[in-house]
Amino acid sequence: MSDKNILVINSGSSSIKFALVNDSQDEFLLEGLAECLGSPAAVVNWKQNDEKKSLLLDGADHTGALAKILPLVQEVAQGKLTGIGHRVVHGSAHVTKASMITPDVIQVIKDAAALAPLHNPPGLMGIEVAQTIYPDLPHVGVFDTAFHQTMPDYAYRYAIPEHLYTGHHIRRYGFHGTSHMYVSRKGAEMAGLPVDNSCWLVAHLGNGCSTSAVVNGESRDTSMGLTPLEGLVMGTRSGDVDPSLHSHLYRTLGWDQEKVETVLTKESGLLGVSGLSNDMRTLIEASEQGNARATLAIEIFCYRLAKSLASLSCALPKLDGLLFTGGIGENASLIRRKTLEHMPLFNFKLDDQANQACTRGVAGKISAQGHPLVMVVPTNEERQIANETLELIAANV
């Protein structure tokens, strides 16, 4: 085992997800989740060598939780921790790649909090607490938006007055960049193509969903925009709606901005249409038992996904393949099949057996011979964050 260990931290408003990644081992040395932070139920659960462990945190906040997690990490890493990679959601247009956490980068994260109010502040809290506990280790920020900074202006600009862009940074940014980058690189490796001469459509389908067009290792377009609400139908998010919907709901129902935002982000998507669940597994089961609303939610999800993929093909000079990832993309053969059925002009055809075999982390080609390549590529954001963190630390030695 190499002695290069990176701790990856993904800090949310009441949770901290973490993984200890060794650069020569496929399995993580340690991975876990501290949740319900700041409440009496605060707890950290982790897995080490397939053994699950748990520790109550006595109402600890982020500081208290990291104070418990970091010594555990050091013990497993046998004191050899090379650095810490922090997932940060928004780096605005200033951050185009993984960056050492410096006072300037902290300022960028703070400034971008207006664009990601639910994500950047807890991310920053995780960074500050970890830096306090380990001031001598290199800390690296890996940004969800960074990979999409290669989009051309005609893809990232909205057709609204220019001063809203120049003065207020209103443009499309895109998210899930770490996953789109990892999956497009892995897809190229699996297909035996050089990353810098390969073109992919990527569908990241988890609780949040987004598509991207990746050309020669660079994002050329993606479905999410200023915020992660734009684009596809998701677990509880509506994705694209008519921009006039907000004012229509205000005029006709008297809903204020907060109510509209809550409905579109927390009560819409698969949950809103089905009235049942935001969980695709539940909807597939319900649909099989004849639940019409679950069936409709699945149909809308797949049709809108197909439409998004077809539109992103405008960004590709050629298509080397379509890659599915995320909890739904990696597991739901039904969703993969239904989506491609909505794209007859692309000549996609799945090998039914291969499609059904790709589930629970199994990667591979699922397209039939003689048809455009379609693959399932399990994402691994922690691995990507660790790789980028290590590369940056190595470059700065």
State in angstroms the smallest separation of the CB of 333 from ligand AMP: 8
Task: Kindly write down the DSSP assignment for every residue of 97-151, as one continuous string.
Answer: S-EE--HHHHHHHHHGGGT-TTTHHHHHHHHHHHHHH-TTS-EEEEETTGGGGGS
CA distance 161 to 140: 36
Residue nearest to ligand AMP (CB): 327
Smaller CB distance to ligand AMP: residue 264 or 332?
Answer: 332
State in angstroms the smallest separation of the CB of 29 from ligand AMP: 22
User: CB neighbours of 369 closer than 8 A, spacing ≥ 6?
Assistant: 351
CA distance 270 to 67: 38
Smaller CB distance to ligand AMP: residue 284 or 366?
Answer: 284
Smaller CB distance to ligand AMP: residue 324 or 346?
Answer: 324
3, 144, 256, 351: the active-site residue: 144
DSSP state of 159: S
State in angstroms the smallest separation of the CB of 97 from ligand AMP: 24
Residues at the interface with ligand AMP (CB under 6 A): 206-207, 235, 279-281, 284, 326-328, 331-332, 359
Task: Kindly write down the DSSP assignment for every residue of 253-306, as one continuous string.
Answer: H---HHHHHHHHHHS-HHHHHHSS-S-HHHHHHHHHTT-HHHHHHHHHHHHHHH
State in angstroms the smallest separation of the CB of 348 from ligand AMP: 20
Catalytic residue at 144? yes
State in angstroms the smallest separation of the CB of 13 from ligand AMP: 17
Smaller CB distance to ligand AMP: residue 285 or 341?
Answer: 285
Six token digits for residue 183: 């999956």
Six token digits for residue 26: 């496929």
CA-CA distances (angstroms) from residue 55 to 19, 34, 68, 242, 286? 16, 9, 9, 47, 36
- DSSP H helical segments within the chain, as ranges? 62-76, 103-111, 120-133, 153-156, 162-166, 177-191, 245-253, 257-266, 269-274, 280-288, 292-312, 326-331, 333-341, 352-357, 381-396
State in angstroms the smallest separation of the CB of 157 from ligand AMP: 29
State in angstroms the smallest separation of the CB of 206 from ligand AMP: 3
Q: Which of 389, 388, 385, 350 is nearest to 367 (CA)?
A: 350
The dihedrals phi and psi of 201, each to the nearest 5 degrees, come to: -100, 130
Beta bridge partners of 32: 18, 46
How far does Cα 258 stand from its chain's mean position?
A: 25
Smaller CB distance to ligand AMP: residue 309 or 390?
Answer: 309
The dihedrals phi and psi of 322, each to the nearest 5 degrees, come to: -115, 130
Smaller CB distance to ligand AMP: residue 92 or 212?
Answer: 212
Smaller CB distance to ligand AMP: residue 82 or 179?
Answer: 179
Q: Is the dihedral of CA 242, 244, 246, 248 positive or negative?
A: negative
| Residues assigned a catalytic role | 144
